[in-house]
Amino acid sequence: MKRTLVLCVAIASVSLAAVGTVSLGGLFTTGNSKIEQVDAAFQLTGIPTSGLAAELTIASSYGSQDEVTFREKYLTEGSLKYSLTETNYITGRSYWTRDEFSGINREYGASAGFGHDLVSNESLTAGIEAGSGFFSRENTEEIVLETSTWYTKAALLWQPGQSWTFSETATYTGDFQDSDNYFIGSVLEAQSAITGNLSFVMGYDITLYNKPPVEGNEKTDTSLRLQLRLAFQ
Q: Tens digit of pLDDT for each residue in 60-86?
A: 766 655 566 566 778 888 888 999 999
Return the half-sphere exposure (C-beta side, CA atoms, 13 A cut-off) of residue 96: 4
The number of helix segments (H) and strand segments (E) in the chain equals 0, 13
Q: What is the pTM of this model?
A: 0.82
Phi, psi dihedral angles at 100 (to 5 degrees): -65, -30
Which of the four pLDDT bands, split at 50, 70 and 90, describes residue 89? Answer: very high
Phi, psi dihedral angles at 121 (to 5 degrees): -145, -170
Whole-number Å distance between alpha carbons of 21 and 64: 25
* pLDDT for res 30: 67
Q: What is the pLDDT of residues 162-183, one digit of tens each?
A: 889 999 999 999 999 999 999 9
What's the burial of 180, exposed, middle or buried (CB within 10 Å: 0-12/13-18/19+)? exposed
* pLDDT for res 39: 57
**Is the pLDDT assigned to residue 12 strictly greater than 80?**
no
Terminal C-alpha separation, the chain = 38
Whole-number Å distance between alpha carbons of 197 and 22: 10
Question: All domains of the chain, ordered by start, with CATH?
Answer: 2-232 (2.40.160.40)
